[in-house]
Structures are given as structure tokens and as C-alpha cells.
Amino acid sequence: MQMNVSVRDLMRQQKKRRVYIQRLEKLIPFFLFIIACGSVLTTLGIIYTLLSNAIAFFSHVSIWEFFTSTVLKPLSKEPQFGVLPLVAGTLTSTVIAMFVATPIGLMVAIYLSEFASSRARKILKPILELLAGIPTIVYGFFAFTFVTPILQKVIPSLEATNILSPGIVMGVMIIPMIASLSEDAMNAVPNTLREGALALGSTRFEMALKVVIPGALSGIIASIVLGISRAIGETMIVTIASGSSKNFSFDVTQSMQTMTAYIVEVTGGDAPAGSTIYYSLYAVALTLFIFTLLMNYVASMITKKFKEDY
């Protein structure tokens, strides 16, 4: 009798536990939905902040002047607000960074994925990822105090603050991103394709170039585009090492200013709230947001176009 009561109590407890679990499982999707909505609302809040303040700026400065003028003099008696000098500085530093990061990152990814032993991979990959953990302000001072003096010995016309040095250091900073994401994409290529290429007489290097890289092309291109977005949005390196000259030029030996560095300059300066200079940082930030959004869209489109299903 006691045994029957124990079994009955046990079944009742299990039933209560199942009911509790079912209720909890019904709450989990709602909880996840709230979190997802929080992310969306945060993005919408950022867009609203940028647009509302950018509209206030464009009520004083024409959109045509802002996007086509090559003169940026926010502190002069007759201020001029042309974003092209900042766009030129941003694009120049990004191109330099990607010229450094892309080939080195891909070569590192090929070595780690196709040539390195498991022991070497366990040692080298964490060391490589340490570069991603270094604060960007440290990279900025490294570019200003170490890289620039070395480059000045090679390029005598190089100014103390220039766009070449921070561009190179940004490329070094982006190497782990491209290398890690590209290696993950290469590891996703089935080993049967590798074995087939080797069976047909290909060397390991030919197999990597003609089989693995084409098979992982969507992931590799996506990593490069994400690296470009990272370079466009970099702040402290260019703020410290590239200077604040607002010249519309593509001369890498000269001091140039990027969009992020201009935002830092305005927010850290004496621009009074509500002034045209103050609102100009929101217009520049909106331009930077559009650049980053386009990069992410391009990465998504490229990934879908070149994606391989195995």
C-alpha cells in the first residue's frame, strides 16, 4: 500500500514537473522575442538620433554643399562644411589597411588551414588572436611613436602625422579578423574535395589555391568586407597618428583626418551644443553609418551569391 502511494506521488510530481517545463518552454520564445526587439529598438533609436540631429544640421547647410564641397573649415569666420576631405581620409586609410591585411590574413589562413600541424595551429592561432585584443589606443601610439619614425627614414617627405602609418597599423589590427574568418570558411570545405584534388596529382599548394579557396570564397570575401567595415569605423588609431588636417588629398605622406577622428575632435572640443558645428558631427556620423550599412549589405549579397552548399 505504501509502495502504491509512493508510485502515485512520484507520478504526480513528474506530471507537475512536465507542466512546469511546458510553461517555461512557452515563456522562452517570448523572452527571446523581447531580447530581439531590444536590439531592433536600439538600432532604431540610433537611426532616430542621427537623423533628427542631421536634419537640424541640414537646415543650416545644404545637402549638396555637404556632399560635394571639398572644403571643411568648421571653425573659420565663414564656416564651410564639406565632407569630402573626411571621406578621402577614411577611404585612403581603409585602402592602405586592406592592402596590408588582406594578403597577410589570407596567407595566414591558408597556412593554418592546410599546412600547419594541429600542434602548431594550437600555438599560433591564440598568438594571432592576441592582436585583436590589444586596445586600439595602444595601436595608435605604436603608429605615432614607432612606425612613423621608421617610415620617415625611408620616405623623408613623410610628415609627423600622416595617413600611411595608421593605415598600415590598422591593417595589422585587422589581420586576425580576416585570418580567423577565412580559416573557418576553409575548414568548412569538405575533405573529400581535398582528397580528390590530391588524388589527381595536385600539390597541397595547388589544392589550396584551386579547390579550397574557390570553395570557401563566400566566407573569404565576407571576411574582407567585414575588415573594410572595421577599418572605416576605426577611431583611436587615426585620431592619434593621422592628424587633423582637413585637406582633400590622397597623398599618403600628408596629415589627413577621417570621419571618426572628426567626430572625436568635435565632441572633445569647444563646440557648444546646438551650434552648427555640433550638429555637423551627426551629419558625419550619419554618413559613416551609411558607409557601414552598405558594406554589411554588400557582404550579405556576396555571401549569398558565392555560397557553396555541400
Interval 196-224: pLDDT, tens? 888 888 888 888 888 888 888 888 988 89
pLDDT for 126 equals 85
Q: Does residue 67 sit within a domain?
A: no
How much helix, strand and coil, in percent to the nearest 5, is found in the chain?
75, 0, 20
**pLDDT band at residue 1, thresholds of 50, 70 and 90?**
very low
Distance, C-alpha 73 to centroid of its chain: 29
259 falls within a domain: yes
- Is the same domain home to 21 and 78? no
Whether residue 7 has pLDDT greater than 80: no
What pTM value is reported for the model? 0.85
pLDDT at residue number 29 = 84
Cα distances (Å, whole numbers) of residue 193 to 143, 208, 213, 228, 308: 43, 10, 11, 30, 13
Residue 127 region by backbone torsions, left for phi larger than 0, else alpha for psi between -120 and 50, else beta: alpha
Asked whether the beta carbons of 83 and 67 are under 8 A apart, the reply is: yes
Verify that 126 and 230 share a domain, yes or no.
Answer: yes
Same domain, 160 and 32: no
Residues 247, 226 share a domain: yes
Question: Which CATH number belongs to the domain containing residue 97 in this structure?
Answer: 1.10.3720.10
Highest mean pLDDT among 60-69, 72-81, 169-178: 169-178
Do both 24 and 93 map to the same domain? no
Question: Domain check: are 106 and 230 in the same one?
Answer: yes
Report the pLDDT value the prediction gives residue 2, as an integer from 0 to 100. Answer: 46
Residues 35 and 89 in one domain: no
Q: Is the pLDDT of residue 5 over 60?
A: no
Output Rg (C-alpha) for the chain, integer angstroms.
26
- How much of the chain, in percent, has pLDDT values that exceed 70? 95
Domain stop point among 59, 82, 98: 59
**Average pLDDT, stretch 247-264?**
89
Last residue of a domain, one of 59, 85, 107: 59
CB 104 within 8 A of CB 223: no
In a shared domain, residues 6 and 145: no
114 located within any domain: yes
Give pLDDT, residue 141: 93
Domain span holding position 19: 2-59
252 within some domain = yes
Assess if residue 64 is contained within a domain.
no
Same domain, 45 and 162: no
At 310, the pLDDT band (50, 70, 90 cuts) reads low
Residue 190 φ/ψ, nearest 5 degrees: -60, 145
Q: Domain for residue 66, yes or no?
A: no
Q: What is the mean pLDDT of residues 46-71?
A: 89
Residue 261 lies in a domain: yes
Please check whether residues 52 and 81 belong to one and the same domain.
Answer: no
What pLDDT is recorded for position 309? Answer: 62
**Residue 297 forms part of a structural domain:** yes
Provide the domain count of the chain. 2
Is the domain of 277 the same as that of 247? yes
Summarised one tens digit per residue, pLDDT across range 102-151 is 999 999 999 998 888 888 888 888 888 888 888 999 999 999 999 999 99
> Which band of pLDDT confidence, cut at 50, 70 and 90, is reported for residue 308?
low
Q: Are residues 150 and 31 in the same domain?
A: no
Tell me what the mean pLDDT of segment 172-192 comes to.
90
239 vs 158: CA distance, rounded Å:
17
